[in-house]
Amino acid sequence: KNQVEQSPQSLIILEGKNCTLQCNYTVSPFSNLRWYKQDTGRGPVSLTIMTFSENTKSNGRYTATLDADTKQSSLHITASQLSDSASYICVVSPKTGANNLFFGTGTRLTVIP
């Protein structure tokens, strides 16, 4: 069964600290993995998209890594800011032939001053 699991469910960190969010998936074969940031009451916004051949991609203070062998991805946030408070959603796309996307339930990050 194709699944995407994220951990932790929620996380509270102090402003300026780093944190890492995890995503494990069983989708196979897989085409790409995406991380989205969703502010409360808003639509998700794309942070990174990685194909199976990429193992790291950065977007400012956000760095995503991918290990296609172990089917794990992580999102590392450096020097967190209050505006990083949001839900972070991992999304996995199967390889060609199916257009379903598989969504994780997200990690709720709260950055406190």
Partner 1 sequence: KAGVTQTPRYLIKTRGQQVTLSCSPISGHRSVSWYQQTPGQGLQFLFEYFSETQRNKGNFPGRFSGRQFSNSRSEMNVSTLELGDSALYLCASSLTTSGNTGELFFGEGSRLTVL
Nearest Cα to 57, choosing from 73, 81, 43? 73
The verdict on 3 binding partner 1 (CB under 8 A) reads no
Among positions 22, 49, 57, 85, the unique one binding partner 1 when judged by CB under 8 A: 49
The verdict on 99 binding partner 1 (CB under 8 A) reads yes
- Count of all residues that appear for the chain in the document: 113
Burial class (CB in 10 A: 0-12, 13-18, 19+), 78: middle
Give the interface segment with partner 1, choosing from 13-21, 27-35, 61-69, 74-82 (CB under 8 A). 27-35
The verdict on 13 binding partner 1 (CB under 8 A) reads no
The verdict on 73 binding partner 1 (CB under 8 A) reads no
Tell me the C-alpha distance between 6 and 90, whole Å: 7
The verdict on 45 binding partner 1 (CB under 8 A) reads yes
